[in-house]
Structures are given as C-alpha cells and as structure tokens.
Structure 1
C-alpha cells in the first residue's frame, strides 16, 4: 500500500484523489511536474504540482508564467476547511508596467480564477485568497531592466466533490495560461487585451 512521508498508509479517499489529479488534461502550453509535497504541518497527506507556461528555460521559472497546485487531505476535516480536502494554489505572471498599474487588475485576476473553475465545472466552498500587483524599478546593475510588473495570486478552497479534483487542476492550469496572456481555451471566460510585447 502507498505511504505518505511519515510512513502512514494512504487512505483510499486520498489515493482516489491522486488518481483524479493525475487524470487532469492541461493545455499544451503548460509543462507540468509533480514536485515534493509540503511537510505534514499542513496536512497528513498531500500532493503538489508545478507548472510553467512554455517556453521556459530548463530549471528556472517561466518568463511567461508559473504556478503551484497543492492538494491537502486531512481525515479529521479541520473546521476552517469545511471538509477533508483543501486546495492551495499559486500563480504568477509578468506584466507590462502600464497594466500593472491598473487598479482593477487584482479584481480581474480573482475573477479569472472563479471563471476558470466554473468553466471546468469545479464545485467548491470556503474560498479565500489574495491577488498582489508588484511594480518594480531596476537600479545599479539592474538599471538596464527598467520598470516591470507582476501579478501574483494565492488562493485556497475546499472541493465539494472529492471525486472531481480533476476539474480543479484543469481550472488552475487555465488560469496560468490566461495570466500569461493566452486566450481562454473554454467558452465563458473573458480575457483582457494582450498585455505584453511578444516581439
């Protein structure tokens, strides 16, 4: 029987969720890797994925966008979760500086996550998160980089259907592609105009 990092046998519910995670069908623009899960501080059982929007350099984050998806499982159903599973995800993408100054950018970014999950049919509750705009200016040896901007989204939610974790992974993958400026792959998801110079 498979075991977690602490040597505990993985419960059937978690093994079924793992299978659902691995069934996810993501866009060809994403390079997906299963990475080591966080320690048992967050939950007794977990699986973690990393994704980069191509093209990415080997062993580095993508210049277009990157993200992490973690599925946590705690049979004790922590009260804050409202269930035995919890998704924790991260998504980041560079932006042109003028887009980074848009006061509605954070709201739009959160709405993209909601739309992407809804378009995949993912059902969830107890959602929370932050969308952060980062504006930077290079100085000294970094002066040649000039001004830059990034958007970062950190979110978590509780899946309502443990047998359909696949849709949650696919929704997260769609969000990464949208943050990178790619058009949505499914209907019903809006997108801003192209946000970076691709020359």
Structure 2
C-alpha cells in the first residue's frame, strides 16, 4: 500500500471512500500491500468468500482489488485512476464445461458495476475457465473446475466506494451466492420495462 500523508488529496479521498464500504457479511476483506512500480500511488484489498457449512467456514472464492493513481494520467487509462480486479471461485466440474461461462462471468462484472452505479470507461479483461484432474496423491480430489476473472477499468470519478462494492458483489456471485437485494430489484425493474 503506497498511501501516505503526502499523497494527493484526490487519492486520499478515493481511499477513504473504499474504506467506508460495508461489504456483504459473507466477504472477509482486508488491506494488503499493493504492487510496486505500477503507479505512483496505489491501494489494495484482498477478500475471501466464507460461507458457514456445518459449524465451520469454507472458502468459496477469493479476489483482489487494486486502485492505481497516477496524477500524470496515462493515455491508456484516460484519467488518473485505474482499477485492477481479480476474482476466482471453484466450480462443479460440469459447470466448468459450459461454453458460455466466460461470457456470463464478464456480464456479472458489468451488472455489478451498473447495480452500484459505478461509472467507468476503457474496460478490459479476461475470463478463464480452468478444468483440473488430480493424479497421484491428488487423485482423491477428482475432477474440478474454477472460474477466474481478471479485469481493469478506469473509474469516471474519484468516488471509489461503489467500484470496490461492485467488485465484492462480483466475487460473491462467482462463488454462487445470490445477488443482494439492490441487484435483484434492478433486475426486476429491467424485466418490467421489457
């Protein structure tokens, strides 16, 4: 994390906005060291989706959210801020075979940003399906699958709480949790409009 007293006011406001987010209760979020050398200022979060199962918690997904800030506004960013996000969740092997899974994962990111009214531009990313089979000592693990989404986008304002909240919602959706009430009501309104 490269936040300090000498950071520009705009970056400090953005970090404060992220720090004020009340993430879903299934999401355990913590501040982590951000990568160095990518931007003059950065702030990073890591999160795990933990769901209570039979009196213990089980991890159902993990992710990272990195806010980059460069007051020189790199041309490829189109502004001073850039968000880099990662979300990963295990899947049942048959779901991992779905040819539309990558498209669905990307659409969930777009929907999560829209639901949180997080304005952005210049999005890019990849959605990856990983299929695995255990051998040797891992043979008992059997077949498995994962979905990974790596994305970046340029926020349209320094209000970053909605950006981080959308990432948290995406992570929970990839882990198989239903969308929150805000997302459900937005989907219902879209259906009503036809």
Q: TM-score normalized by structure 2?
A: 0.88
Contact kept in structure 2, 1:116 and 1:189, CA below 8 Å: no
Which stretches of structure 1, 4 residues or more, deviate above 3 A after TM superposition? none
Determine the structure 1 residue equivalent to 2:116: 120
Secondary structure at 1:87's aligned position in 2? strand
- How many aligned residue pairs are there? 180
After superposition, the Cα gap between the structure-2 partners of 1:136 and 1:189, relative to the gap in structure 1 and judged at 3 Å, is farther
Residue 184 of structure 1 is aligned with which of 164, 179, 183?
A: 179
Secondary structure at 1:144's aligned position in 2? helix
Residue 52 of structure 1 is aligned with which of 14, 33, 48?
A: 48
Determine the structure 1 residue equivalent to 2:17: 20
Secondary structure at 1:174's aligned position in 2? helix
Determine the structure 2 residue equivalent to 1:64: 60
Deviation at 1:152, TM superposition (A): 0.2
More strand by share: 2
Matched, 1:105 2:98: no
Contact kept in structure 2, 1:93 and 1:179, CA below 8 Å: yes
Deviation at 1:127, TM superposition (A): 0.2
Determine the structure 1 residue equivalent to 2:34: 37
RMSD: 1.8
Deviation per residue, 1:163-190 (Å, 9 max, x gap): x211000000000110111100022359
Contact kept in structure 2, 1:115 and 1:189, CA below 8 Å: no
Residue 160 of structure 2 is aligned with which of 155, 158, 165?
A: 165
Deviation at 1:97, TM superposition (A): 0.4
Deviation per residue, 1:53-76 (Å, 9 max, x gap): 0149xxxxx630000000000000
Could you tell me how far apart the structure 1 residues matched to 2:29 and 2:98 are?
A: 30
Deviation per residue, 1:75-113 (Å, 9 max, x gap): 000000000000000000000000000000000000000
Residue 142 of structure 2 is aligned with which of 140, 146, 162?
A: 146
After superposition, the Cα gap between the structure-2 partners of 1:189 and 1:116, relative to the gap in structure 1 and judged at 3 Å, is farther
Could you tell me how far apart the structure 1 residues matched to 2:98 and 2:163 are?
A: 28
Unaligned 5+ segments in structure 2 are 53-57, 189-194
